[in-house]
Amino acid sequence: MTSADTPLEVENLRKEFGGLVAVDDLSFEVNSNEILGFIGPNGAGKSTVFNCIMGVLSPTDGSVYLHSDEITGQDTHETVNQGLARVSQESNPFEEMTVEDNIRIFAVSNSPFAFSSNDDEEVIRSLARRMGLEDELGTLPDSLPHAGRRRLEIAKALATEPDILLLDEPFAGMNQAEIRDLSEEIRGFRDEGITLVVVDHNMRGLMQLVDRVIVLNEGRKLADGTPEEVADDERVQSAYLAGEV
Ligand SMILES: Nc1ncnc2c1ncn2[C@@H]1O[C@H](COP(=O)(O)OP(=O)(O)OP(=O)(O)O)[C@@H](O)[C@H]1O
Ligand SMILES: [Mg+2]
């Protein structure tokens, strides 16, 4: 069941790849304006869940609801237009285009239905400023450091003006200072009313950031609670080797 104030809900989601069950009867909801952590080891099914939500993959079974409307298998573009954006695990900018043009492609006013595109430049500039890329607008993505490429992906997602943002391993490959800075940005997104789901391998980096954590293991939900509750959960502890979570 869904309710009007549930931004995103997944019900009995199942995804098979041939004989492999990557996601197995998974149900969860994302509450309004929370930062939800979504953790699990390699191959747990985290990215597959995001791909099913975004319509990049068709679920084998189950449903996805966005603000109570069913969007299961819906065209990705339409879902993005409805305010749900996702930053993929891999950065995939157009390498032959500048940082500025990469952001511009996703700017809402770029849509053929937009009233005017006059505000584009200011929007792009402020997104770049926000993500620490204001001096890199004319740069090609390949010249950015790893953290900069990840920040560009976030700027692209923000350009679609989401009210829900899914971040797949945003901290991967970042150093402690970069993780701290990005965590601060993510808190800022929430303060502006964006609801967030943040994927990571382990909870160490997420403990201070998230309100709630869902642990996924072999496609199934193992635990769902506050970071403290989940860290204390015996099933979580026994599913992970000591220190992993
Ligand atoms: N397109 C695909 N075709 C076949 N198998 C796939 C496909 N995508 C994912 N899988 C398999 O589904 C399982 C879940 O993969 P998924 O990428 O969702 O895990 P993950 O939790 O995101 O892992 P990681 O932490 O490594 O990113 C894995 O066994 C993976 O090999
Ligand atoms: Mg993944």
pLDDT digits (tens, 9 = 90+) for 96-127: 999 999 999 998 765 555 555 556 788 899 99
**Measured in angstroms, how far is the CA atom of residue 116 from the centroid of ligand 2?**
37
Same domain, yes or no, for 177 and 215?
A: yes
How do residues 151-162 score in pLDDT, each as one tens digit?
Answer: 999 999 999 999
Same domain, yes or no, for 74 and 107?
A: no
- Residue 226 within any structural domain of the chain: yes
72 close to ligand 1 (CB < 6 Angstrom): no
Give, to the nearest 10 degrees, the angle between helix 99-106 and helix 146-159.
Answer: 30
Model pTM score:
0.93
pLDDT reported for residue 245: 46
Q: Which of 118, 139, 161 is the last residue of a domain?
A: 161
With the most atoms of ligand 1 within 8 angstroms of its CB, the residue from 20, 38, 48 to mutate is 48
Same domain, yes or no, for 63 and 23?
A: yes
Which ligand number lies closest to the CA of residue 43?
1
How do residues 39-84 score in pLDDT, each as one tens digit?
Answer: 998 899 999 999 999 999 999 999 999 999 999 999 999 999 999 9
Confidence band of 231 (pLDDT split at 50, 70, 90)? confident
- Residue 21 within any structural domain of the chain: yes
Same domain, yes or no, for 243 and 191?
A: yes
Which amino acid is it at 237?
Q
Q: Looking at the predicted structure, is the pLDDT value of residue 243 above 50?
A: no
Comparing 78-87, 148-157, 229-238, which segment has the lowest mean pLDDT? 229-238
CA angle 237, 238, 242 (to 5 degrees): 60
pLDDT reported for residue 208: 86
Q: What is the average pLDDT across 11-31?
A: 97
Distance of CA 116 to the CA centre of its chain: 29
What mean pLDDT value characterizes the chain? Answer: 91
- Residue 140 within any structural domain of the chain: yes
- Residue 245 within any structural domain of the chain: yes
Comparing 7-21, 210-224, 227-241, which segment has the lowest mean pLDDT? 227-241
Backbone phi and psi for residue 58, each to the nearest 5 degrees, phi listed first:
-90, 125
**Measured in angstroms, how far is the CA atom of residue 54 from the centroid of ligand 2?**
14
Same domain, yes or no, for 152 and 46?
A: no
23 close to ligand 1 (CB < 6 Angstrom): no
Q: Which of 161, 186, 208 is the last residue of a domain?
A: 161
User: Which residue from 157, 198, 159 is spatially nearest to 50, judged by alpha carbons?
Assistant: 198
Q: Which of 115, 137, 161 is the last residue of a domain?
A: 161
Which ligand number lies closest to the CA of residue 168?
2
With the most atoms of ligand 1 within 8 angstroms of its CB, the residue from 13, 15, 20 to mutate is 20
pLDDT reported for residue 242: 43
For ion ligand 2, residues whose CB falls within 5 Å: 46-47, 89
Which ligand number lies closest to the CA of residue 219?
1
Same domain, yes or no, for 145 and 204?
A: no
- Residue 56 within any structural domain of the chain: yes
Same domain, yes or no, for 150 and 171?
A: no
Cβ 187 vs Cβ 193: under 8 Å:
no
Full residue range of the structural domain in which residue 38 is found: 1-83+162-245
Same domain, yes or no, for 206 and 196?
A: yes
The number of domains in the chain is 2
15 close to ligand 1 (CB < 6 Angstrom): no
Backbone phi and psi for residue 223, each to the nearest 5 degrees, phi listed first:
-160, 160
Residue 167 or residue 4, greater confidence: 167
- Residue 89 within any structural domain of the chain: no
Protein residue with its CA nearest to atom 30 in ligand 1: 43
What is the position in ligand 1's atom list of the atom closest to the CA of 41?
A: 25
43 close to ligand 1 (CB < 6 Angstrom): yes
Protein residue with its CA nearest to atom 29 in ligand 1: 43
Q: Looking at the predicted structure, is the pLDDT value of residue 176 above 60?
A: yes
